[in-house]
Structure 1
Amino acid sequence: MDTRALRQCLGRFTTGVTVVTCRDGDRVHGITVNSFTSVSLEPPLVLVSIARSAKACELLAERSFAVNILGAHQRELALHFAGRPQGGLEIPWEDGRLAPRLAGCLAYLECSPWQAYNGGDHVLYLGRVEAFSHGDGEPLVFFAGVLGPLGEVGQEVLSRQVR
């Protein structure tokens, strides 16, 4: 199977963008994740899929974590936690009940570890939602390799198709 073509096909599914955060002793860590989904309301479960090659993958094993759903104004945070450090970026950390969080997000969910599953080259972490909050605003989305506000992403992809 042509994995590049498969990746392009899967990229046609528009996703929101999150940063999953956790604490390891005194250190806080985060990783940009767009493979996030709600699993169950009873009990309240969410799933994040983390590449085994990511440093954060092992950190989530048996640890509480927060899923920070990013707004359109947080593109630099998404890039930073995706391994592309943004010079001069100040990380707006907040103390959560279970895990560190990013301030100013559209929403957050604090989770206790529930289960981890083998997902091939990824690990699927399920967390039990213990605390959450949300606000209003424009989401940060990822579609066809473009990261940005919902309207701008659509325009960028359409302009590429016309060229």
Structure 2
Amino acid sequence: MDDRLFRSAMGKFATGVTVILMETDDETHGMTANAFMSVSLNPKLVVISIKENARMLPKIQEAKKFSVNILSSKQEEISKIFAGQIKEQEVTINRLMDVPVIPGAIAQVVCEVSAEHVEGDHTLFIGKVTNITIEDGDPLLFFSGKYRSLEELVEV
């Protein structure tokens, strides 16, 4: 099967956009990701997926804690910064339970790594959720290779 066909088909699944943050040696590290999902309500677990050659892989293995920041529709620029599309721009970082988080994200989910599984060319990290904050707002979406926003429905 052609890689491009597979990527195109997976791009037809609309996702939210997250920034994964962790800290090692008093330095914050982050990456934009849409490979995120909830796994279990009891216990509260989520999963993130990180490519085997990503510079973030050893960082999360060392940190053993991370946050998933679900971005609002107003945070496209933050997504691009952590995706490496915008260089040398500072992002304000807050802390929740001593883990870095993105202020203004519509959800901040703090996790401890409870397991990791290598599958294909990615490592899946299972995170035990230790804290959550939420804010009102619309999510930043990604569909068919482009950022998207929810459109308000207007009744006629």
TM over 0.5: yes
Deviation at 1:138, TM superposition (A): 1.1
Partner in structure 1 of residue 23 of structure 2: 23
Partner in structure 2 of residue 80 of structure 1: 81
2:112 counterpart of 1:106: no
Q: How far, CA to CA, are the matches of 1:46 and 1:66 in structure 2?
A: 11
Q: What is the one-letter code of the residue matched to 2:142?
A: F
Q: What is the one-letter code of the residue matched to 1:83?
A: G
Q: Deviations over 1:39-82 (max 9, x none)?
A: 00111000001111211012111510000000011001111111
Partner in structure 1 of residue 122 of structure 2: 122
Q: TM-score, normalised by structure 1?
A: 0.88
Q: Deviations over 1:109-133 (max 9, x none)?
A: 0001110001211110010000001
Q: How far, CA to CA, are the matches of 1:71 and 1:106 in structure 2?
A: 6
What percentage of aligned pairs have identical amino acids? 38
Q: Deviations over 1:18-49 (max 9, x none)?
A: 00000011100000010000000111000001
Q: How far, CA to CA, are the matches of 2:120 and 2:83 in structure 1?
A: 20
Q: Once superposed, which parts of structure 1, at least 4 consecutive aligned residues long, lie more than 2 Å away?
A: none
Q: How far, CA to CA, are the matches of 1:98 and 1:142 in structure 2?
A: 29
Q: How far, CA to CA, are the matches of 2:15 and 2:100 in structure 1?
A: 23
Q: How far, CA to CA, are the matches of 1:81 and 1:148 in structure 2?
A: 17
Q: How do 1:31-50 residues align onto structure 2 when only pairs under 5 Å count?
A: 31-50=31-50
In structure 2, list runs of 5 or more residues that go unmatched.
none
Count of aligned pairs between the two proteins? 151
Partner in structure 2 of residue 66 of structure 1: 67
Most deviating of 50-59 and 124-133: 50-59
Secondary structure of 2:68's aligned partner: strand
Secondary structure of 1:136's aligned partner: coil
Computed over aligned residues only, the root mean square deviation of the Cα atoms, in angstroms, reads 1.5
Partner in structure 2 of residue 157 of structure 1: none
